[in-house]
Amino acid sequence: MRLLSLMVMLLCCAACNSQNSIKPTKGENAATVEDQRPNYKYDPPAVEGEFEPFDTTTEYWRSILTAQEFNILREDGTERSFTSPLNKEKRAGIFTCGGCGLPLFASATKFNSGTGWPSFYEPIHPNYIKEDVDTRYGMRRVEVSCARCDGHQGHVFPDGPEPTGLRYCINGASLDFVPMEDFPEAQDK
């Protein structure tokens, strides 16, 4: 757990140091919303478990997200199974919300569930996700969303591996992956 905390802290420091060099790359109008983009899009919370909620307009989300990302994050859609490159991602790193950048899952908790979606047995911090009962499609499931921007991520099921027994089945299109190799500070520790 200490290694995971260290990884998150190093990620936070590196993200803060490189914030100004990151440019928006999503959506047709990304360049026009650069000044409107909140600074913490790339800054994980300074205090573990704490963050400021992010509420903005539908137009903002449409301007920074692709059509598929918008459908999943803002309209509770689902990508087709086995289509996300993140399903096969095995490098050390952090999976962040594709909408606001909140760090949601660490690669150390990722496992191959065989379902076709990236799966994790626990979030980085329980405060970073929101869980709601989802009764759509005649099923009772637990929906998982980003607690900061309310972006739909996927669902959690009670059939995962130890130590939690949970399977967070997450849409790859709702996540961004930040590999630890991008942060030399992490390699020195």
Residues with catalytic annotation?
A: 169
130, β-bridge pairs? 145
Distance, in Å, from the CA atom of 120 to the CA atom of 152, rounded to the nearest integer, reads 16
* Residues near 170 by beta carbon (within 8 Å), at least 6 away in sequence: 95, 104, 105, 117, 118, 119, 120, 144, 153, 154
DSSP β-ladder status, 167-170 and 152-157: antiparallel
Distance, in Å, from the CA atom of 152 to the CA atom of 76, rounded to the nearest integer, reads 5
Q: Which helix (H) or strand (E) holds 167?
A: strand 167-170
Reading the block at residue 165, the tokens are: 């027994």
Helix (H, G, I), strand (E, B) or coil at 173: helix
